[in-house]
Structure 1
Amino acid sequence: MSAEEPLLRLARAAVFATVCLFLSTAGHAFAGGGGVDPAVLLAGLAGTMGLAYAINGREREPEVVLAASAVAQISLHEVFGWTTHSVPTALGTEHGHRTFGMTLAHLMVAMASGWWLYRGEQAAWLMLRLWATAPFPVLRWLFTTAGRTTPPAPPAVPVSFPQPRPAWTVPAAIHRRGPPAIIG
């Protein structure tokens, strides 16, 4: 399976777009931006999937995934800000769409989710590589060991096995005790 396969690219783009859209929507609602219209959500999903599909023709480095995540988060934040009405937050302030703190929050979420997406993509590629190579050695091992029988277990030691007698001595060991003889 290669990275250029459309089905694999589409699946990877769908995961990327879903994570970005969910985090941006949740952050928007949490910060007091209100609910997002379903048509805007679909447009955001389509745009984010288009971006992800365009860049995932091959396995990407973390910088590319982090940058794409940041672009998606900021773009979704701006689109949601233009299409929804601000509501007062618990602190009494309205959802600020162009504040430094909001931009910083989106960038932090983008970096965390981008890193998470990159590590997930690494794991997916590792599983695909292992799946492509691992079955053949395992199958070969199974076929070579299937015809063999296991050797019989050794017989049990009988209870009446003779115990060593204390009177048995080894004569050669007796005269060699002590320090070595001086040969000279």
Structure 2
Amino acid sequence: MSALERVSRLARAAVFAAVCVVVSAGGHVLAGGAPVAAPALFLGVVAAFVLAFALSGRERGPEVVVGVTATAQILLHELFARSAPVAVAHAGHPHGEGPGAGMTVAHLVVGVVSGWWLYRGESAFWLMVRLWGMAPLPKLRRLLVGAIEPLTTPVRVVLVAGATTYRRPELVRVVRRRGPPAPPVVH
């Protein structure tokens, strides 16, 4: 693994860990009112980072990124709930007996939304990597023209002297060609 690959994997894993932990801890503070303990926060960041670093070796699809993010949300919820002080855990908050249905649904929704956001960022990163590997002119063409018209490879027709082409009358008006018109075929 090159230094550039290692740095990109570390950066992407750090973003994943930060998003997962900040969203989960923020939800706990807003829902429960008690701050998350620093050791649990540190353990959550490390666990999410290690998981993301292990999966960041190649491009992943939306089902993997969203699934891992939702799973990380549920696991972080459990970690933060079990590390809460006993007085807070039993003061009407369902952490004492496990996540309630509402809390589980909230974590799943947040996991899916943030997972989709992370997937789109991951997709954009890999697009930039692919564009970086291209020659400069096609890169510029793709950026400038690709948004306006779909990129298609032009078809080049080479007419050999003396060769005849078969043209049915109903298809002559349908064919679109780029460039100057072809010389007329003499029969």
TM-score by length of 1: 0.66
Instruction: Provide the rounded CA distance (Å) in 2 between the counterparts of 1:95 and 1:36.
Output: 16
Q: Retained in 1: the 8 A contact 2:25–2:36?
A: yes
Q: Which residue of 1 aligns with 2:101?
A: 100
Aligned-pair RMSD on alpha carbons? 2.8
Corresponding residue of 2:17: 17
Contact residue 70 and residue 108 of structure 2 kept, 8 A: yes
- Structure number with the bigger relative contact order (C-alpha 8 A, sep ≥ 6) is 1
Contact 1:19 1:113 in 2 (8 A): yes
**TM-fit CA distance, 1:124:** 1.3
Q: CA deviation at 1:23?
A: 0.3
CA distance in 1, matches of 2:25, 2:99: 16
Confirm or deny: 8 A CA contact 1:32 1:94 kept in the other structure.
yes
Shift of 1:42: 1.1
Length, aligned pairs only: 136
Q: Distance in 2 between matches of 1:93 and 1:46?
A: 30
Q: Kindly state the Cα deviation for residue 114 of structure 1 after the two structures are TM-superposed.
A: 0.3
Amino acid at match of 2:113: A
Aligned pairs (5 A) from 1:126-165: 126-134=127-135, 136-137=136-137
Q: Does 1:84 align with 2:84?
A: yes
Give the percent of matched residue pairs that are identical in Structure 1 and Structure 2: 50
> What does residue range 1-184 of structure 1 map to in structure 2 within 5 Å?
5-85=5-85, 87=88, 93-96=92-95, 97-134=98-135, 136-137=136-137
8 Å Cα contact 1:36-1:84 kept in structure 2: yes
Contact 1:16 1:49 in 2 (8 A): yes
Greater Cα radius of gyration, structure 1 or 2: 1
Aligned to 2:144: none
Q: Deviations over 1:66-109 (max 9, x none)?
A: 11101110110000000013649xxx942544201100100000
TM-aligned CA distance change 1:95 to 1:30, over 3 Å: farther
State the AA in 2 paired with 1:11. Answer: A
